[in-house]
Structure 1
Amino acid sequence: MASTVTSEPSANAPAPSRPGYGQLLRTRGAWTFLLPGFAARQPFAMLTVSIVLLVRHTTGSYASAGAAAAVTGVSMALFAPYSGRLADRHGQRAVLIPGVVAHALSGLALTALALSHAPLWALLAAAVPTGASIPQIGPMVRARWAVKLQDSPLMSTAAAFESVTDELTFVVGPLLATALCTAVDPAAGLVTEASLTLLGGLLFAARRSTQPSVGAVGGHARVEHASALRIPGVRVLIVAFLGIGSVFGGMQVSLAAFTESIGEPGLNGVLYGTFAAGNMLSGLVCGAVAWKAAPRLRLLVGYAALALTASGLWSAHSVPVLAGLGLLVGMCIAPALITGYTLVEELVPAGARTEAFTWLTGAVALGQAAAVTIAGQLEDRFWGGAGFLVPMGGTLLALATLLALRSHLAARPRSRTVARGVGHRVPVTVD
């Protein structure tokens, strides 16, 4: 039988009192990566909307616009975990600097091709590096929180705070992209996105003191780099996040089609911002609550509510009804996202968490890409609002998977460990 000797809590982690945002934001060194991280992740919220609006303007087809956005999302989903694994092995800075430069150049190339009315295959070819090089700022910020807090009860609060931050970007991003594309120029959204990615990413990469140590836990012991995908619970969470991505993608295309059909394209950003605002508000509440229910139960209940509300979107035929339903759907997404990221901290070893976070982020992007493609086809071929069937189908399929495989989401007992050094938790099995 293994025995346990534990170290003192990390010097970086706050005292284990009731979790709260005030206590979280007083964590030493937190603001040095939070502010540049917020600036660096803002452009990602603009990307899909900017591509859809630009390509729709230059080709006249939602199907073509959806295909270009989908290729971008698929490329991100495929390359994001690899980027996360490289960050775990070589450090975030080594991955970020070349990544943001490549993304800015690729985004500008895609813009130039669209404006020159290049064939669809050329747009899709340019979309591949644009998506593959999207900087994974959110997972990197979450990895920094995991190092700062370690086993602190504030980890759940940090997950909620990051979800709220993500959704704040998705309130501002679509509004900014829509305003730029409709009031300035159809290409202004992508040009701004590329510029902000470069500037914000370089500022975040400059904060070297807060990035996780390369291949170490607590800054000392080297860890084996096993893929996070080997953990069954991570694979189940990927399916859940694919369903969440289907909501984002389906709504982006369908809201754009709906607002254009009523002659008010500028309302697209407002409606999508309302959806994201619901997500942000419920995320704030989730982070402020001291939950007694297990994360697995919270995920199942929250996801059931998401599937139920998303199933009603296709029946909305007016702006007020659609705004109200979108608000409810957004309010149901945050609990699922927050709990999923919280479960990663319980299921995944520290040395693979950046990769695990990027698998989930990539799953959202992949689900969004598939949803954009399918919703675009439905909007072009069938009735207005048919694209809203995509969020319903995606969330119902994911909910069925969660219910069938829920046993994989139970956190395993932590290894019995002895610490080496003062103020650091270094897992060493004792027989």
Structure 2
Amino acid sequence: MTTPATPTDERRPGYRDLLRTPGAWRFVIPGFLARQPIAMLGIGTVLLVEHTTGSYGAAGIVTAISGVAMALIAPQSGKLTDRFGQRAVLVPAVLLHALTVSLLIVLALRDAPLWALFAAAVPAGATTPPISPMVRARWSASLDDSSPLMTTAAAFESVTDEFTFIVGPVLTTALCTTVHPAAGLVAEAFLILGGGLFFAAQRGTQPPKALGQEGTSGKKARRDSATRTDSGSGPDSGPGAGGARPHAKDGGRSALSLPGVRVLIPALLGIGSVFGGMQVSIAAVTQFAGQPELNGVLYGIFATGNTLAAVAVGTIRWRRSAQARLLIAYPVLVLATAALAAAAQLTPWLALLGALGLVAGLCVAPSMITGFTLVELLVPAAVRTEAFTWLTGAVALGQAAGSMAAGQLTDGFGAGAGFLAPAAGTGLALTALVVFRRRLADRRGGRGSARGVSHRAPVTVD
């Protein structure tokens, strides 16, 4: 009997190593296409509703409502995905989302009352398919839990997300300002329909269902769950630790029952407030400056900073634990958003705001990537998709709150006031993170990545 050897070199595995994972390209490319419209929904709604109502406050509220609906429904979609499989959830979600976004467009163009726009925003947000958590779950199914490639995968997904937030807003702004105010959301509906169905068709890379899955993959999932149970006997796995001990019935429990997940939610809420507040605030200051066409450019600069930082995080071999990294990165993010907010109150100079936006973007990715990395360490595989959707839902909810707060501040106090929303959101999140930091302790001591490049351990054969 033979077992393939595991490399023992201490180099940090890079993106090339990650993309050599068997079957990776089968979900990476469709996943990128399918998530592209997610970055278009918020800014497309802001630009369309502001055009038809003349109010950034109204536009922010409509966007916030769709974000809240997305945040509340996404975890339930994740739980259903864990149980019934990705395709069963994704196909109907994609079809319903295209229909509900179309309804929102029609109502806005017909000058429907605000209550009608609010009502239409609920299903538009609720039916947004959780593409990013699904892709992350496919990485988890393809890699060993202790592989250093898990951190690389988290970084790669953040790079992909942030590249999406570069292309999406720029494309949406260009369509809305040069073609028609509704063109951005029209493109969003078509892209989510085509990209989502393409991703759903990649059935071979789906993770096994937590319940009711038979055959080799089902046995493998149960074996992985049992292995994680054994590894949870360390000092950080007891009551009150972030990695509450999983057990054989993890498939029937909620990821929200894990203390570590509950602590990460406010951290991701704060990050979401940065995205939402920046979208509305940048749109407001560029219009105030008489250069609305620069809206997508400035937001793209912010997202570029995020992308560059995400690439860097994925190439570094970290010696500190993920918990320690998060507690270092998050205060830096708070300082960056505070500096941007202060500058926006003093001057509407777009070049300065763009430079500070780049700095803020550089500070977002380390916190976000580390948060998702902690999910890999704290959450059993049977409920991991649900955990990812709680966190992505928290980002969406924070984005909604940030959009609404920035819109109200802009209408009440001027174009630059909206930047106060991200500063406040991250500041409050940091407070919660510091107070409950012990619940983020990794029961494996954060040393799982020291073993070198590895995928899921192959079963020995004769």
Q: TM-score range by the shorter chain?
A: over 0.9
Identity of aligned residues (%): 60
Counterpart position of 1:418:
none
Q: Could you tell me how far apart the structure 1 residues matched to 2:265 and 2:414 are?
A: 31
Q: For 2:326, which of 287, 299, 307 is the aligned residue?
A: 299
Q: Could you tell me how far apart the structure 2 residues matched to 1:413 and 1:206 are?
A: 36
Counterpart position of 2:193:
198
Preserved CA contact (<8 Å) 1:218 1:424: no
Q: Could you tell me how far apart the structure 2 residues matched to 1:34 and 1:117 are?
A: 40
TM superposition shift of 1:320: 1.2
Counterpart position of 2:414:
383
Map 1:25-174; keep pairs closer than 5 Å.
25-151=19-145, 152-174=147-169
Q: How many residues align?
A: 410
- Whichever residue aligns with residue 311 of structure 1, its letter is A
Preserved CA contact (<8 Å) 1:16 1:153: no
- Whichever residue aligns with residue 382 of structure 1, its letter is F
Map 1:270-289; keep pairs closer than 5 Å.
270-289=297-316
Q: Name the Cα RMSD after superposition.
A: 1.9
Preserved CA contact (<8 Å) 2:144 2:457: no
Q: Could you tell me how far apart the structure 1 residues matched to 2:457 and 2:125 are?
A: 43
Counterpart position of 1:339:
370
Q: Could you tell me how far apart the structure 2 residues matched to 1:209 and 1:16 are?
A: 30
CA separation of 1:324 and 1:211: change in aligned 2, threshold 3 A: same
Deviations along 1:140-192, whole A, 9 cap, x unmatched? Answer: 00000001012211000000000000000000000000000000000100010
TM superposition shift of 1:424: 5.6
Deviations along 1:355-410, whole A, 9 cap, x unmatched? Answer: 00000000011011011111111100113211111111111111111111110000
Deviations along 1:204-233, whole A, 9 cap, x unmatched? Answer: 000000000111695315553211000111
TM superposition shift of 1:313: 1.4
TM superposition shift of 1:15: 5.1
Q: Does residue 1:175 correspond to 2:170, yes or no?
A: yes
TM superposition shift of 1:55: 0.3
Q: Could you tell me how far apart the structure 1 residues matched to 2:289 and 2:104 are?
A: 29
Q: Could you tell me how far apart the structure 2 residues matched to 1:273 and 1:218 are?
A: 41
Counterpart position of 1:401:
432
Q: For 1:355, which of 364, 370, 386 is the aligned residue?
A: 386
Equivalent residue of 2:298, what SS?
A: helix
Counterpart position of 1:423:
458
- Whichever residue aligns with residue 341 of structure 1, its letter is F
Counterpart position of 1:310:
337
Q: Could you tell me how far apart the structure 2 residues matched to 1:161 and 1:51 are?
A: 28
Using structure 1 for the length normalisation, give the TM-score. Answer: 0.92
TM superposition shift of 1:281: 0.3
- Whichever residue aligns with residue 62 of structure 2, its letter is A
Using structure 2 for the length normalisation, give the TM-score. Answer: 0.86
Deviations along 1:56-109, whole A, 9 cap, x unmatched? Answer: 000111111011100100000000000000000000000000000000000001
Q: Could you tell me how far apart the structure 1 residues matched to 2:217 and 2:381 are?
A: 9
Structure 2: any 5+ residue segments left out of the alignment? 223-247, 446-455
Q: Could you tell me how far apart the structure 2 residues matched to 1:383 and 1:112 are?
A: 30
Structure 1: any 5+ residue segments left out of the alignment? 1-6, 415-420, 426-431
Equivalent residue of 1:351, what SS?
A: helix
Runs of 4+ in 1 over 6 A off after TM superposition: none
Q: Could you tell me how far apart the structure 2 residues matched to 1:154 and 1:422 are?
A: 13
CA separation of 1:424 and 1:108: change in aligned 2, threshold 3 A: farther
Preserved CA contact (<8 Å) 1:307 1:392: yes
Map 1:228-243; keep pairs closer than 5 Å.
228-243=255-270
